[in-house]
Amino acid sequence: MRATRRTQGSDVPSLCALVLTASLLCLIPTAGSGQVAHSGPVAEVTGVANILHMIADMNRSMAFYGGILGFRVNRAPRGPANDPNAYIKMLPNLPTMYLVAENAQYRSVEMFLATPTSRLELEDFKDLGTKPIRPRLIDPGATVLMLWVKDLDDVVKRVTQAGADVVSAGKKPVNLKAEGGSERVLFVKDPDGFLIEFIQPNPLPASAASAGQNVFAAGLGVSVNDIDYTSDFYKSELGFQVQEAPDFVTDQPFLQAAGLTKGLKIRRASTTIPGTSFPMEFMEFKGLERKAVFSAVHDVGATMLRINIKDMSNLVQNLQGAGIPINSSIGRPETVNSQLVIRGPDNLFLQLTPPPRPRS
């Protein structure tokens, strides 16, 4: 399913600033830049896998996603039989990906979002000195789990009875205009402050009828520093077809739904990950001072998106030629069987992997 795009009006784009840190490299554009220095052929994306969300407490998060929201577990935590939710030593190669010591401990669980290929992976690291990041939606690097549902009233009932953090104005859904109809929207925070946007379109698409649960589609929203730069990165490096709105607009219903201040303006871009129906939405705000998010990959609140790439060897050459930092790698990056983690624009970590092997 393609993301429902909200109606837009007009204004002018803002400039963004260059952010550098000494300890880690970050891919954030210089002021006014809208071009990524591409080198070599564009990578061929073949699919999308998990959205990875770094959390503080596995039991608390499972109670929220599994208990309150009713998500089904796809892969349970790997702890011992007498305590499956216990911390365990990280699986081989994972310390390399997360840039932690070999003896680091963690616990992890996968939950279905909408389809067997659309999953939320929760990662809880032990005693790593991780710092929590709780950005506002307007801050570049804030991410939003977007969930399309058949029955938003059921979500409202669940989160209200559980006392969850509903951020929408009046703690109730807001009606928005959308292409081809309308939608009801509710923003909720999970226990670590991760934003979830529940969307009930009207009319419901045909695909909703076949879903065996309330959520029938999932996507990811990202607040960005410079929408032109971010769009160009995904176009030139990963071959995404990105549609950008030309102007900033005042979208008061959306601001109300997201619990944001009146007077803010927003500019959007939307895309669908190639080879999938998984939508992404980029949002750039102006009207308040923004503070860019910069985290370690294992910090609580960090987000990673796992994407399948057909030719990993070409991808490495492209990234190096474009000056894009590789955060970490598993194995030799020039080999087809490697996996790379890069810090994409706006602190969204991208785990780039070969396509899954066909089952025999």
Quick: pLDDT tens for 233-285.
Answer: 999 888 899 999 999 999 999 999 999 988 899 999 999 998 888 999 999 99
Task: Classify residue 255 by burial, with Cβ atoms within 10 Å: 0-12, 13-18, 19+.
Answer: buried
Length of the chain: 360
Long-range contacts of 162-171 (CB under 8 A, 24+ apart): 162/64, 162/67, 162/68, 164/64, 164/68, 164/188, 164/189, 165/189, 167/195, 167/258, 167/259, 168/256, 168/257, 168/258, 168/259, 169/256, 169/257, 169/259
Task: Report how far Cα 330 is from the mean position of its chain's Cα atoms.
Answer: 22
Two tokens, residue 216: 């029938």
Residue 332: pLDDT band (50, 70, 90) is: low
Measured CA to CA in angstroms, residue 321 lies from 32, 229, 283 at distances of 22, 17, 28
Q: What pLDDT is attached to residue 348?
A: 94
Look at residue 16 in the predicted model and tell me its pLDDT: 28
Q: For residues 159 and 323, which has the higher predicted lDDT (pLDDT)?
A: 159
Listed by start position, the domains of the chain span 1-360
Burial group, residue 265, by CB count within 10 angstroms (0-12, 13-18, 19+):
buried
Residue pLDDT, tens place only, 11-44: 322 222 222 222 233 344 443 445 655 555 677 8
How many whole angstroms separate alpha carbon 257 and alpha carbon 176?
A: 9
For 201-220, the pLDDT digits (tens) are: 999 999 898 888 899 999 99
| pLDDT value at 326 more than 60 | yes
| Confidence at residue 38, expressed as pLDDT on a 0 to 100 scale | 58
pLDDT number for residue 91: 84
% of the chain surpassing 90 pLDDT: 59
Report the mean per-residue pLDDT for the chain. Answer: 84
pLDDT at residue 4 above 90? no
Q: How confident is the model at residue 321 (pLDDT cuts 50, 70, 90)?
A: confident
Q: What is the DSSP letter of 310?
A: S
Which helix (H) or strand (E) segment holds residue 53: the answer is strand 45-55
DSSP 333-344: TTSTT-EEEEE-
pLDDT value, residue 116: 62
3 — pLDDT class (breaks 50, 70, 90): very low
Q: Residue 132: what are its φ and ψ, rounded to 5°? A: -80, 140
CATH class of 1-360: alpha beta
Gap between the Cα atoms of 358 and 360, Å rounded: 6
- pLDDT value of residue 61: 96
Percent of the chain with pLDDT over 70: 84
C-alpha 85/C-alpha 87 separation (Å) is 7
* 46-101: pLDDT as tens digits: 888 899 999 999 999 999 999 999 999 999 999 999 999 999 999 887 888 888 88
Query: Predicted confidence band at 155 (pLDDT cuts at 50, 70, 90)?
Result: very high
Cβ-contact 105, 126 below 8 angstroms: yes
Q: Is 275 exposed, middle or buried (0-12, 13-18, 19+ CB in 10 A)?
A: middle
Dig out the tokens for 257 from the structure: 């739904």
- Alpha-carbon distance of 119 to 49, in angstroms, equals 7
Q: What is the pTM of this model?
A: 0.87
Between 226 and 7, residue with greater pLDDT: 226
Yes or no: say if 293 and 23 are a contact pair by the CB < 8 Å rule.
no
